[in-house]
Amino acid sequence: MKISYLAWKRLLTLRNAINILNIRLGQETDKNSIKDSKQLKEILITTEEWDLLESLVDVLEQFAEATDYLGGSTYCTYSIINPFIEQIKADLIETSSSDSLQSLPQSPLSHYSTQIINQEINDDDVFADEDLEIQNDLNLSVNQTDDLLNLVKIRLHENLCKYWNFQDPNALLASLLDPRTKNLDNIPAQVRTETIALLHDKLKELKLNYESIPSDSTSSSSSSNKYKNSIFTRFQKSKSRPKTLDNEILEYLKIDEIDWEDDPFIWWRREEKHFHYLSILARKYLPIPAASTASERMFSNARNLM
């Protein structure tokens, strides 16, 4: 899909140059230029098809941006998978109309649509890059291009729901621990409640593991024994009394989400003392990479060095 996006985007950049070439070839009188002009006119797409191509590039652009972002290795990516997918699904369904698809004509458009949609979307890998063989003898009208655009959007939405359904508590736990996405927008209330319950269970398990580790108490001195039962010790104990797990979670959920540009790792380092167990769990889930792109890039660079 990304290859198609890049190819079509480049083609749109060359649109004016192609039109100028078509005009200049039509003005030439030598045989080669006349032959080239005839061949160019045969494969030149219509204005409606240019508009369709531009609309398809706009639709695929957010997929390309998400792919590039999730392939990074120097920032948090795993927790952003669900927000990205949910936003893309919302944009697709908002700008498409299923009503207009009910009147799709049984014309060459149906073959054209099937060819593109099946190869580009309904493959085993939904986002596999495919070399498309676009038929050039189709002159699509405005209504046909609109119908085809809506069809592409709806098929993309359907396959996102089918293959990339991250509305599961285990998959959403990282998003809940990310202070940028902890509100879990666009997630059903029931799933959000289950994710918070899962977070509570994980924290409870983490706390039990930490409490089972014997603490190092060999550093006591005579000066500390002197004030062991004094008012100063009791004051310090009351001051450093840890929060309960429920209070820690509730207080974290009440805080406003941070800006998208902020670094969640820096935020958790700053709030580590405030949310002790949550920060430990965040260090476990947030560094998980969303894709293997970074590893593949590393091996590719290593091969070049060798």
Question: Contact, 44 vs 14, CB < 8 A?
Answer: no
Higher pLDDT, 186 or 264: 264
Per-residue DSSP letter, 101: G
- Across the range 39-63, mean pLDDT stands at 92
Q: Check whether 223 has a pLDDT greater than 60.
A: no
Task: Note the helical H segments in the chain.
Answer: 2-13, 15-27, 31-43, 47-70, 81-95, 108-120, 142-163, 169-177, 189-211, 222-226, 231-239, 245-254, 264-270, 276-285, 293-305
pLDDT recorded at residue 301: 62
The fraction of the chain above a pLDDT of 70, given in percent, is 70
pLDDT at 150 over 60: yes
Compute the distance between CA of residue 156 and CA of residue 154 in angstroms, rounded to an integer.
Answer: 5
Residue scoring higher pLDDT (182 or 164): 182
pLDDT of residue 143 exceeding 90: no
Greater model confidence, 9 or 117 = 9
